[in-house]
Structure 1
């Protein structure tokens, strides 16, 4: 991993995100962290020739630079390769433009509160980044106490349409030297599959994704009343550090796999969640 972007608004949550980025970057001394602050100025201020508006813009730019200096002056950030960036962007959806410009591998964001994404995630700046980002986004609700992600749970429907996101997800976690736990959740509904059907679906997927069936023995087939309960129960059982999910881009985090599955994974997970656009 070469570059990580952390949107910073100088809040406690963005401090958590930057701390997590520093911990991940310690795995590779060449990893650069881009701490991005957006002034969110209007076009009227950005493009004006009015001297008063120009003075206003310069004031906010210098204020941001001062805040950055104070924000980064913490022991945990010492020695880390952090580059502060201030942009005149208006909305957080433009973080994806910065990611493309710099060839970023990951975006890390803090999410306010601990009551669940249903109240504080949907409609927030974090959701906007997730919806527009072409690179994975790691969302934290709290300070990540560990130095690394040891165990990651990734649930899939193992459809052939999921092969590409699986490859990108697997590559990232291999780079982080993380143990990946793949699970298929079987439910008592119209999506119920027999053991043979599940194994055939996963076999077809692995042949497309891996070219062999070596990982078939490592797939965890879980039975539960919903995908969300299956994922969360399994993550709790193995003591996972992170849950990874696929999203359908601008339709938001509510849309996993085929169709729409509720936001319960994000709402009820106390673990960090990493999203990959499908």
Structure 2
């Protein structure tokens, strides 16, 4: 049984996220939570038409699930408060297993400085997050790029990655970006082989790419092999001050034209 959260703002990208989330459901026990966050439900401008607006939001949410799978339980929730705080609280209190969000990509200086909503969720979510850009479905995911940190003490993370690979019946492309500061390519390939053996991976390839910029190296490789998804592991720093620091994962989410999956270690 999976409990999937889809933050919804009624945009085209959120509709694509909802369709992908529905496609991820397997059984009648799976549950989908479509959530719209209102900054302040008690705001004076909103309170005068509170009931009417809530009903309209509810109707929009129901319309977005018109093509839902028979038997899959779908909940429509409207939350009040700051977006990130509301989403993180909902993940915890409602025992969410997975978040699926639509992304518009990079949108200029304002979001570069503050971080888009999906960047904030990717950096802080305690559960895996799918960033959906296009019209992906589970049958179209054949090749997953997985940039490796070569750490051998992340069994929980790799179990999630293996589960991801199994879900899509896909090939895993282990990737290490070499920035030319230390080990040579042959040594890195040996370490990647050790990494794959240690975690008992199967159906995978190993690649070392030389690029001074990690983000660019990952994106170039993904395009080169025509990958369908990039799987990234974040640092799991949930203190909000870290939202203002550089994040390769957030950059990938903003600039990749394919599906991105993230998990906080």
TM-score normalised to structure 1 length? 0.76
Any residues of structure 2 matched to 1:97-112 within 5 Å, and which? 97-112=89-104
1:231 matches 2:224: no
Any residues of structure 2 matched to 1:192-207 within 5 Å, and which? 192-196=183-187, 198-200=189-191, 203=194, 205-206=195-196
- Alpha-carbon deviation of 1:155? 0.7
Per the alignment, do residues 175 and 101 of structure 1 end up closer, same or farther by CA in structure 2, a change over 3 Å counting? Answer: farther
Aligned to 1:6: 6
Partners of 2:244 and 2:183 lie apart in 1 by 23
Aligned to 1:150: 142
- Alpha-carbon deviation of 1:85? 2.5
Partners of 1:177 and 1:102 lie apart in 2 by 29
Any residues of structure 2 matched to 1:184-199 within 5 Å, and which? 184-188=176-180, 190-196=181-187, 198-199=189-190
Cα-Cα RMSD: 3.4
2:8–2:36: 8 Å Cα contact kept in structure 1?
Answer: yes
State the Cα deviation string for residues 166-197 of structure 1 (Å, max 9, x = none): 22222233244333222223332x14435235
For structure 2, list consecutive stretches of 5 or more residues without a partner in the other structure: none
SS across alignment from 1:77: coil
TM-score normalised to structure 2 length? 0.79
2:175 to 169, 174, 183: 183
Partners of 1:266 and 1:118 lie apart in 2 by 16
Aligned to 2:38: 39
Aligned to 1:169: 161
Per the alignment, do residues 201 and 174 of structure 1 end up closer, same or farther by CA in structure 2, a change over 3 Å counting? Answer: closer
Any residues of structure 2 matched to 1:246-261 within 5 Å, and which? 246-249=233-236, 250=238, 251-252=242-243, 261=248
Larger Rg: 1
For structure 1, list consecutive stretches of 5 or more residues without a partner in the other structure: none
Aligned to 2:72: 81
- Alpha-carbon deviation of 1:236? 2.3
- Alpha-carbon deviation of 1:19? 0.8
1:273 to 248, 256, 260: 260
Partners of 1:176 and 1:53 lie apart in 2 by 43
- Alpha-carbon deviation of 1:157? 1.6
- Alpha-carbon deviation of 1:135? 0.6
SS across alignment from 2:169: coil
Partners of 1:118 and 1:149 lie apart in 2 by 32
SS across alignment from 1:160: coil
- Alpha-carbon deviation of 1:53? 8.0
